[in-house]
Structure 1
Amino acid sequence: MRHLKAPIAALAALSASPALAAGDVFFSLKNTDFVVSIAFLVFVGILLYFKVPSLVGGMLDKRAEGIKSELDEARGLREEAQALLASFERKQKDVQDQADRIVANARDEAARAAEQAKVDIRTSVDRRMKAAEEQIASAQSAAVKDVRDRAVTAAIAAAQNVIASQMSASDANALIDDAIAQVEAKLH
């Protein structure tokens, strides 16, 4: 209330002074500059009385603290985002390395499988060649045996024809008697 009394006293002193009666004087209510100055001083006084500057300062301080906390939160979020980005980049690199290892292993396995397939094919071809050679040898020995059998049959037939044409009945009886004697000698 003390703050209000001083401006009111100054206002009352100015309004009751003889200077207000003069028309060309600065301190006159007819002078707009003086009225505006008084109104401005009254307005500033009212603002000071209701502590508006401290309220505005408090509001500005509160807003500054809010902005600072938002900046701190944004800074923390940025750091967290950078940490996540670094983590994802490490994971991506690890996944890429693992994929490269898998591809390299697959290539190595394919090369080993190809080499094994070549070995298996060679073994199979060798086995088949051996089987074919054995079949050829078997067929050859069968053919030789067949030729021998036919030669023996032909020789027997030829010998039979030669013997039949050259042998007489008495020679045949003598050969039969001799064969019987040899069989008896071998059996006893």
Structure 2
Amino acid sequence: MDATFWATVALVIFVGVVLYLKVPGMLSKSLDERAERIRAELEDARRLREEAQQLLAEYQRKRKEAEKEAADIVDLAKREAGLLAEEAHKKTEEYVARRTALAELKIGQAERDAVNEVRANAVDLAVEAARQIFAGKADAKTNADLFKGSVQELKAKLN
């Protein structure tokens, strides 16, 4: 009995023990379980990836909606600001026009008052001058008649 024989016997016993203990089945089962775990993990990873892509798409859609809404708000604010500026400009122009018209009225009234005052002073001076001139030349009755006539004439011219 040489060493090759014993090595062969040991190998057969080893293979017999391995088969008796069902080691190939356990290895196969272990490998199948591991493959199933890997398959489940891959399926979970695929599902998570799809969910992440859906979330990304949803957030991108929400971001675009928010950007559009912000742009709409900015456009609305610009339009409102333009309208407010235009309205303020119109009100300013109306205010200036009213103030100008009021100033023109006041100037016109002041001119009329000044003209009337000058006329009144001229009448007073003319009456006084006429009285002094006629005081030395005419009697009281003539002076009174001239005075009344002059006053009536001036009144007629002023009206």
* Same fold per superposition (TM over 0.5): yes
Query: What is the TM-score with the length of structure 1 in the denominator?
Result: 0.70
Structure 2 match to 1:10: none
The alpha carbon displacement at 1:89 in A equals 0.6
**Relative to structure 1, is the Cα distance of residues 172 and 37 closer, same or farther in structure 2, using a 3 angstrom cutoff?**
same
Structure 2 match to 1:43: 14
Structure 1 residue ranges, 4+ long, deviating more than 6 angstroms after superposition? none
The alpha carbon displacement at 1:166 in A equals 2.1
| Equivalent-residue separation in structure 1 for 2:61 and 2:22 (angstroms) | 58
**Relative to structure 1, is the Cα distance of residues 135 and 37 closer, same or farther in structure 2, using a 3 angstrom cutoff?**
farther
Residues 1:76 and 2:47 aligned together: yes
Residues 1:109 and 2:72 aligned together: no
The within-5 A match list for 1:1-188 is 20=1, 28=2, 31=3, 33-168=4-139, 171-172=140-141
Query: What is the TM-score with the length of structure 2 in the denominator?
Result: 0.81
SS in 2 for 1:62: helix
Please, which moves more after superposition, 54-63 or 159-168? Answer: 159-168
Identity %: 40
Structure 2 match to 1:24: none
SS in 2 for 1:143: helix
* Structure whose alpha-carbon radius of gyration is higher: 1
Number of aligned residues: 146
| Equivalent-residue separation in structure 1 for 2:142 and 2:134 (angstroms) | 13
| Equivalent-residue separation in structure 2 for 1:152 and 1:72 (angstroms) | 118
| Equivalent-residue separation in structure 2 for 1:136 and 1:174 (angstroms) | 40
Amino acid aligned to 2:105: E
Higher helix proportion = 2
**Relative to structure 1, is the Cα distance of residues 131 and 62 closer, same or farther in structure 2, using a 3 angstrom cutoff?**
same
User: Which has the bigger relative contact order, CA under 8 A and spacing at least 6?
Assistant: 2
Answer whether contact 2:18 2:24 (CA < 8 A) is retained.
yes
| Equivalent-residue separation in structure 2 for 1:174 and 1:98 (angstroms) | 95
Q: Which runs of 5+ in 1 are unaligned?
A: 1-19, 21-27, 180-188
